[in-house]
Amino acid sequence: MRVRQKTLRPTLELEEAAFLRGFSRIAGIDEAGRGPLAGPVVVAAVVLGEHWNDKYQLNDSKQLSAEKRQKLFDLICAESSAFKIVSISQQEIDRLNILQATLVGMLCCLNEIEPTPDYLLVDGNHYPDTKIQGEAIVKGDCLSKSIAAASILAKVSRDRAMVEYGKKYPQWGFERHMGYPTKQHREAITKYGLSPLHRRSFRLKPEQMSLL
């Protein structure tokens, strides 16, 4: 596992280092939705490709406005060499736990993306159980443009799904908080209980409930 200092914007430095070592299909992998109390965790893998335009201002999805994320989502889908987005349901999260569900999502991406990557840059400190070489990078979405691209695809895809769930379960306001434990969300749980979208294995901490 490589731990690096946070930089202002991700670059292609890690991808270029892998190219110099003889790898040609370098995928960035990231997820969205590990922390919420409801909804899926979404994992994305992106191979930007050797000819990716480095001028595109990719960044960690949390550092971008919703409008900017939407525009970059379309650009990444149109101009990357390959990408795959996988959603793991709240039922699977409850069955496996959130970490294992996220790792399953990574493996699903790797099994379905074409062509198959030969090197992985994975955000965080856990690496999927795969024979593909690569590295886990803490704060990788702030360091690698491939990981940043994956974070954008995962975040936009999950947000779109949560907006639709908000229409189906309007009492909980998912389209506003995306399932995260905001004050509004905690109040809705207190009033209405859990929706079918909530993760039963997740519980509000006492200090979160005390803020109601």
What is the enclosing helix (H) or strand (E) of 136?
A: strand 134-138
Residue 79 DSSP one-character state = H
* pLDDT (0 to 100) of residue 51: 84
High-pLDDT (> 90) share of the chain, %: 85
Q: Read off the CATH number of the domain in which 48 is found.
A: 3.30.420.10
* pLDDT (0 to 100) of residue 8: 61
pTM score, whole prediction: 0.92
Distance CA 66, CA 70 (A): 6
Distance CA 76, CA 48 (A): 8
In the chain, the N- to C-terminal Cα span, in Å, equals 39
* pLDDT (0 to 100) of residue 198: 97
CA angle, 74 then 101 then 62, to 5°: 40
* pLDDT (0 to 100) of residue 55: 84
Total number of domains in the chain: 1
H-state helical runs in 8-144: 13-20, 66-79, 90-96, 98-112
168 phi and psi angles, rounded to 5 deg = -80, -35
- pLDDT beneath 70, residues of the chain: 1-8, 204-212
**120 lies in which domain range?**
2-209
